[in-house]
Structure 1
Amino acid sequence: MDLELKSKTAIVSGASTGIGRAIARALALEGVRVVAIARRKDLLEQLAKELHAAGGAVIPVTQDIMAEDAAKELASAAIAELGHVDILVNNAGGSRPLPVDAPDSDWDEAMALNFTRYRQITHALLPQMIERGWGRIINITGKSEPEGLNAAFAAKAAVHAWAKGLSREIGRHGITVNCIPPGRIMSEQIRRNYPEDYRKHFAEEEIPVGYWGEPEDLAAMAVFLASPIARYITGTVIPVDGGLRRYQF
């Protein structure tokens, strides 16, 4: 299927490894010019070289998403590189388990990383999307079944609510907003924190398809939602989890 993505432009945050890297790679191979954002310069440059050799275009931009005014700086840098931005993939973030007595500063940091930066960079890019009458905003979020107190879960729930409301405001401009909560997707952190025997047992007992996903499994959904073909899908939360989640809607 031709996803009609050739000549489109995109920003992907958290693009040095894992899900972000897979999305940046998949978009680039579809002909999208991608600004890939992360803190690890060497990994971004390696990705850019790989994609260049494969005929894709990735522009590495090293940036700490938590820096003051990071969202405005990233939006300006991407527009300077690309001319305009059609697709935004908000992917940077991280788990933040906290004790009940955690200080406000820990909650503030988690909310800034996992919600506020998504909102800020999106709103910084919206005017030029509205002017062009087209855009795709894709948020990589998290599960809605917390097994404990984790500030990232609260922040990702905020992303879901914000994205739904935003989708109703900007749909008439040809802009869609969707969220993808990952299931158990293999990554550096997963391999470091969960031994192989645990992963095997968990997959057999909890994941209907019987295995942990790869970043490319989620990237396939992100690329589809980024395409003109997905024009009638907005305001949704679409898990990519091998059937892990148990709720019926």
Structure 2
Amino acid sequence: MDLNLKDRTALVTGASAGIGAGIARALAAEGVRIAITARRGEPLERLAAEIEAGGGQRPLVLTGDVTDASTVSSIVSDAAGTLGGIDILVNSAGGSRPVPLDASEEVWDEAFALNFHAIRRFAAAVLPSMQERRWGRIVNISGSMEPRALNAAMAAKAALHLWAKGLACDVAADGITVNTIAPGRINSEQILTKMYPTEEARQRFIAANIPIGYFGDPEDIAHLVAFLVSPLARYITGAVIPVDGAMRFSAH
């Protein structure tokens, strides 16, 4: 299926590994000209070289800490200046933050800075030009909304869900859609090295929680993103879409 994305432009955050890198590959394969950003420069350069070697246009690499408001502004300015505007924003930067009951204010502030405020700031920075052109796509990568322990990132992502739904209503008439994807367990650096570092741990979790029987891959998220940012998905907005192999506890 031709998604009609050739020569569109996109900014993908959190693109150094995992889901973000998978999204960058999928968009580049559709002919999208992209800018990729994350804290770590070396993985971004490797991804850019991989995409170029595969026949895609080499992505623009922009490094920076997205929890810093001035850095967000610089990234958007540099991306828009080089690409000639930003049609598509994919907010993939984020990270789990399990916390104890007595977690400090600094821990909570960092979790919200990364998992909510950075996303809000990126959207605010790209929206004026999208509104002027009367076309734009924003996709946020979120997480499970059914925690089984206290996690500051999940609280931030709950805020993200409702913010995105409200924003979707405000900009719908401008030809802009805003959607959120809630991944389950996806094979990524964070999942495989921190949460489930052994195959035994993975299989134990899968048996107890994932009816489909396996962890997903970044491409399982990336293909949905490619569709949501295409003109074909013009009537989908304000949605929170789980991609989790039926891991949702409410399904049981």
Same fold (TM over 0.5): yes
Code of the residue aligned with 1:14 in structure 2: it is: G
| Aligned twin of 2:84 | 83
Distance across 2 between alignment mates of 1:110 and 1:14: 15
| Aligned twin of 1:247 | 250
Code of the residue aligned with 1:34 in structure 2: it is: I
**Seq. identity, %:** 56
Pairs within 5 Å for 1:106-185: 106-185=107-186
Q: Give the CA RMSD over aligned residues.
A: 1.1
- 1:179-210, CA deviations, whole angstroms, 9 ceiling, x for partnerless residues? 00110001122222311012112223321111
Q: Does 1:211 align with 2:214?
A: yes
- 1:119-149, CA deviations, whole angstroms, 9 ceiling, x for partnerless residues? 0110111000000010000000011101111
Residue of structure 2 aligned with 1:232, choices 232, 235, 242: 235
Deviating above 4 A after TM superposition, structure 1's stretches of 4 or more consecutive aligned residues are none
| Aligned twin of 1:72 | 73
Distance across 2 between alignment mates of 1:48 and 1:105: 34
Aligned length: 248
| Aligned twin of 2:16 | 16
TM-score with structure 1 length normalisation?
0.97
| SS at structure 1 position matched to 2:241 | coil
| SS at structure 2 position matched to 1:7 | coil
Structure 1 residue runs without a partner (length 5+): none
Higher mean C-alpha displacement, 56-65 vs 127-136? 56-65
Code of the residue aligned with 1:220 in structure 2: it is: H
Higher mean C-alpha displacement, 26-35 vs 190-199? 190-199
Distance across 2 between alignment mates of 1:236 and 1:129: 19
Distance across 1 between alignment mates of 2:101 and 2:116: 20
Code of the residue aligned with 2:245 in structure 1: it is: G
TM-score with structure 2 length normalisation?
0.96
Distance across 1 between alignment mates of 2:232 and 2:250: 28
- 1:4-29, CA deviations, whole angstroms, 9 ceiling, x for partnerless residues? 00010000000010000000010001
| SS at structure 2 position matched to 1:238 | strand
Q: Is the 8 A contact 2:69 2:121 kept in 1?
A: no
Code of the residue aligned with 1:2 in structure 2: it is: D
Superposed displacement of residue 96, structure 1 = 1.0
Distance across 2 between alignment mates of 1:27 and 1:92: 17
| SS at structure 2 position matched to 1:11 | strand
Q: Does 1:60 align with 2:61?
A: yes
Higher mean C-alpha displacement, 190-199 vs 111-120? 190-199
Superposed displacement of residue 68, structure 1 = 4.2
Distance across 1 between alignment mates of 2:97 and 2:43: 24
- 1:58-86, CA deviations, whole angstroms, 9 ceiling, x for partnerless residues? 11111111234122111111111111000
Pairs within 5 Å for 1:31-50: 31-50=31-50
Structure 2 residue runs without a partner (length 5+): none
